[in-house]
Structure formats: structure tokens, C-alpha cells
Structure 1
Amino acid sequence: MFDLFITAATALAGAMVLLWLISIWRGHVSFIDAFWGTGFIVAAGATAWLLPALGLEQTIALILLTAWGLRLSIYLLKRYLRNGEDLRYVKILGSRTGAARHLFSLWFVFGLQGVLILIIVSPVIGILAASPSSPDGWTILGASVWAIGAFFEWIGDWQLSRFKANPDNEGKVLNTGLWALTRHPNYFGDACVWWGLWLVGHDITLVFAPALMTFLLMKWSGVPLLERGLKKRRPGYADYINRTNAFFPGPPKNKA
């Protein structure tokens, strides 16, 4: 399996260096978000390319990964084209200029994202490294959890896009649909997608991958980072926090 990880790492490194060079030409790095989903496809696709044959279970895992990655990248690309430079990256890069800025972005924006992708995609590489096999109960369970996650992520993003498209909702808080059950249905769905992919292969030595994704979404780059800004921009968000679960779906809380 080590040689497959080397292949995935090499493909990701090449892609990230290319994107870094584009960022120097464009003058900012915000478009990297649109590559997040595609990066997983690059890593898994490069790995699969080396294999003489794929079993049905391996094919299913690749299809699930590709469907998730393409949808997410298209969604994030549209957001980038609509909103332009992301202030989060402006803060990360700070006041650095010239070569110092470029080197910092290479290691701590593009390089870091590549490393995270390589770690999180490891369950799929593990599935590809195994002997070709037919689907079993684990495959069905994993695909079912993946489907639940895809539903929450895709429908949650769709509901949010519709809400933001209405000028009357400027400054308001989306608290209907899936957003009445959790403040971040898309993040919850993302976590389920990766737990589902891990379940397909159910390699206990690779359980750190979906655990890392869940941690990132709940405690680092997901919920905390996003809500820090929402509390300032949307007056009703504090009440929404009191009434709605942060991550795991549940009925709204009745608080006075």
C-alpha cells in the first residue's frame, strides 16, 4: 500500500505546485478552495491508474468519492467566481509580501491542504490497495451512511444558496429546512460522507482519517471559523445558536 500512497502524494504535490504558480500569477490564493474536492479525485485517480484491475467494491468507492468531490468543487468554484478573494486567506497571509508571501502560501496554504487531502483520502487508497472484491454488508452500510451525508451536504448547500439569492434575506439567518435541525447540515453531511467511505473498507488502522475530517469541521476550520464572523454580521445568530444544534441534527430547542 505504501507505493500507492507515494503515487497519491506525488500527484497531489504536482497539482499543488501548479496551483501555487497560478496563485502567483493571479495575486491571491482563494481559488484553492475549489480544488478541495477535486484534490481527493486526483489522489485516488492516480492511485487507481496503477492498478491492473478494479473490483466492484473498489469501483463503488471511487464513484462515491468522485460524485462527492466533483459536486463540492463545482459548488466552491461558483462561490469563488461570485465572491472573489476570501478574507480568511487575506488574514492567513497577513502583511507578507513578495517572496515571503509566496513561500508562506506554498507551505501553509497549498502544502497544508495537500497533506490534509492525503491523510483524509487514505481509507479510499486502502480500499484500492486491497484485493479486488465484491460488495458485502460493509459496502452497503458505508454507501448508506455516504448517502445520508450527501443528502445533508447537497440539500443544505442548495437551501443556503436559495436563501442567499433572495435580497430580502440580507442580514437574516436561515433557520428552516435542514438548517432548523443543525446550524451546519453541510458540514455534518461532509463528515458522514467520509465515515461512509471508511466503512466500505472498515480498516481500523485508517479510522483516523474520518476522525480528522470530523475534527476539522467541528473544531477547527469549519464551525468555529465560520460562526466567528456570523455572530458579528447577523444580529439574530446568537438566538439561532441557542435554539439549534451546532453539528449533529436534532429538533429545535424551545428556549425563551
Structure 2
Amino acid sequence: MLDIEFIMGNTFAKAAGIDFGIQWSLWALASLLQTEKFYDLAGSGTFFYLAYQSLQWGKTFYTRQKVTSGMVMAWAARLGLFLFTRVLKEGKDSRFNGVRGNPGRFWVYWTIQGLWIFVTLLPVLVLNNKKEDKPLTYRDYAGWGLWTLGFLFESIADYQKSAFKANPDNAGKFITSGLWSTSRYPNYFGEICMWSGLFLTSSSAMTSAKEYASVLSPLFVTFLLLKVSGVPIQEKQQAKRWGTNPDFIKYVKNTAKLIPFIW
């Protein structure tokens, strides 16, 4: 038992060290260059690397571990490339206006990203540290199904919005078609579904209250998206652009905020 506890603690310490080491090193480079262009790519890349590396540290490679880690890596690769391509195309990320030239404030953003990565990955780190396998159950399939639903929602919503903005005829307009007709934030709904699904699957192998505490992952993601870096920022920008537009007011009133079709 002592050896297992030591290995578990060491795994989390290594993950945290690598995580924050990457964020702070790249913060120094980003501050020097005064750019945020690789911020999101750094975050998704760290997710990808730690999901893969924690699987290697465990050296057990059970089906549940491989599928769940693969899902994290697939999500990280898609989202990272999407956000990196978007910021290159647009030239900047408005979240960092007034921040990129202030090293102290910029450091806070990079540190929050490190915290987001570590807390969000907790269920996967717990799972990949397990030395004993358990048979797959309905929870595993339900979790993978929920992740798949979320992945499709986020991927399709991102594609639809990008295609909408790329059409010159839509300049200055807001999207109300596709998944955006069912929810004002279908991409955030997808993100929450994915991490909820990964916790659900990982919980199939959990045996202690300490491990179940990794439910902080989907809760933290939901909190960030709904209260900190997602919806609040989007709504502030939308209010500036379309706050007095009758069509936008109608869209907000008649469209679900997060969960499709549920007002």
C-alpha cells in the first residue's frame, strides 16, 4: 500500500511539475515576444502530452486507460489546431487586449491555464495510475458515449461558426443556424459533456473518496466556462456589438443558453 501511495503521489507531482513548467517557460517567451498566438496551442499540447505520458508512467495499458487517454489526445489535437489556426488568421485574441504587454498580468493567465490543465486531467491521471484492472461496465460505455456527443457538438459548432464568419455576406452578423439555433453556446455544452463523460468512465475504476474527488474536473470546467472565461466574456462582447439589435434580443430570449432546447 505504501508503494502504491508513493507512486500515486509521485505521478501527480510529476504531472504538475511538467504542466506548470511548460506554462511558465512559454509565458517567459510569450512575454518577450508580447504575443498570445501560441497560448491555446500550449494548453492543448500539454493536455496531449500528459495524457500520453501518464499512460506510459502507469505501464498497465488497460483498455479503459487507452481509450480514455486517446479521447483526451484526440480532443486536444483538434481543439489546439483549431484555436491556433484561428488566432493566426485573426492576428490576435481579444482576451489578451491590455494583457500581452504586462508580464505580471500575462503570468496570471498562463498560471490559470496550468491550473485548468491539472484539475481537468485529474480523473485521467487517477485512472492511468491504477494498477488493477476492472471489467468494463455500463458506466464506461455511457461515459464514452457522452464524450462522443460532446466531441461532435464542439467540433461541428466550431466548424459552423468558422464557416459563417468566413462568408463576407455575414460580416457584422451573428450566427443563428445549425447547432447555434439549438443553443447559444453549443461548443461549451460539448466541452462540458466531454469532461463529464471522461470522469464517468474513469470513476468505474475508482475505489476511494480521494479518487472520487476528481469530480472537480467537470465541475471546474463548467465553472470556468459559465462564470469566468467563457460565457461572461462572450456576453460582454455580444452586448457591445448587438445589444440593441432586436433580432439578437429575440435570439437570446428564444434560444437555450447552454443545453440544447432547454431554456
Using the TM superposition, give the Cα deviation of residue 124 of structure 1 relative to its aligned residue in structure 2, in angstroms: 0.6
What's the secondary structure of 2:97's corresponding residue?
Answer: helix
Matched residue count:
245
Q: Which runs of 4+ in 1 moved over 4 A?
A: none
The residue that corresponds to 2:152 in the other structure is 151
**Alpha carbons 1:7, 1:46 under 8 Å: kept:** no
**Alpha carbons 1:30, 1:89 under 8 Å: kept:** no
The residue that corresponds to 1:66 in the other structure is 73
The residue that corresponds to 2:3 in the other structure is none
1:170 aligns with 2:171: yes
The separation in 2 between residues aligned to 1:173 and 1:46, in whole angstroms, is: 41
Show CA shifts across 1:56-86 (max 9, x none).
1100111110011100001000111011222
Q: What amino acid is aligned across from residue 136 of structure 1 in structure 2? A: T
Q: What amino acid is aligned across from residue 249 of structure 2 in structure 1? A: A
Pairing partner for 2:228 from 202, 220, 227? 220
**Alpha carbons 1:120, 1:212 under 8 Å: kept:** yes
What are the residue-to-residue correspondences of 1:47-126 with 2, within 5 Å? 47-92=54-99, 101-106=102-107, 108-126=108-126
**Alpha carbons 2:51, 2:69 under 8 Å: kept:** yes
What are the residue-to-residue correspondences of 1:16-31 with 2, within 5 Å? 16-31=23-38
The residue that corresponds to 1:161 in the other structure is 162
The separation in 1 between residues aligned to 2:155 and 2:163, in whole angstroms, is: 12
Show CA shifts across 1:83-119 (max 9, x none).
12222212446xxx6xxx324322x011121011101
Gaps of 5+ in 1: none
The residue that corresponds to 2:4 in the other structure is none
Q: TM-score, normalised by structure 1?
A: 0.89
Deviates more, 1:25-34 or 1:116-125: 25-34
The separation in 2 between residues aligned to 1:105 and 1:175, in whole angstroms, is: 34
Change (3 A) 1:228 1:103: closer
The residue that corresponds to 2:20 in the other structure is 13
Deviates more, 1:126-135 or 1:76-85: 126-135
1:250 aligns with 2:257: no
1:186 aligns with 2:187: yes
Using the TM superposition, give the Cα deviation of residue 30 of structure 1 relative to its aligned residue in structure 2, in angstroms: 4.4
What's the secondary structure of 1:173's corresponding residue?
Answer: coil
Using the TM superposition, give the Cα deviation of residue 228 of structure 1 relative to its aligned residue in structure 2, in angstroms: 0.9
Using the TM superposition, give the Cα deviation of residue 34 of structure 1 relative to its aligned residue in structure 2, in angstroms: 2.6
**Alpha carbons 2:31, 2:106 under 8 Å: kept:** no
Q: TM-score, normalised by structure 2?
A: 0.87
The separation in 2 between residues aligned to 1:70 and 1:135, in whole angstroms, is: 26
Pairing partner for 2:249 from 232, 238, 256? 238
Using the TM superposition, give the Cα deviation of residue 132 of structure 1 relative to its aligned residue in structure 2, in angstroms: 4.7
Deviates more, 1:129-138 or 1:63-72: 129-138
What's the secondary structure of 1:49's corresponding residue?
Answer: helix
The separation in 1 between residues aligned to 2:55 and 2:202, in whole angstroms, is: 15
Gaps of 5+ in 2: 1-7, 207-211
Tell me the C-alpha RMSD between the 2 structures.
1.8
Using the TM superposition, give the Cα deviation of residue 151 of structure 1 relative to its aligned residue in structure 2, in angstroms: 1.0
The separation in 1 between residues aligned to 2:116 and 2:174, in whole angstroms, is: 31
The separation in 2 between residues aligned to 1:91 and 1:248, in whole angstroms, is: 33
What's the secondary structure of 1:207's corresponding residue?
Answer: helix
What's the secondary structure of 2:61's corresponding residue?
Answer: coil
Using the TM superposition, give the Cα deviation of residue 52 of structure 1 relative to its aligned residue in structure 2, in angstroms: 2.4
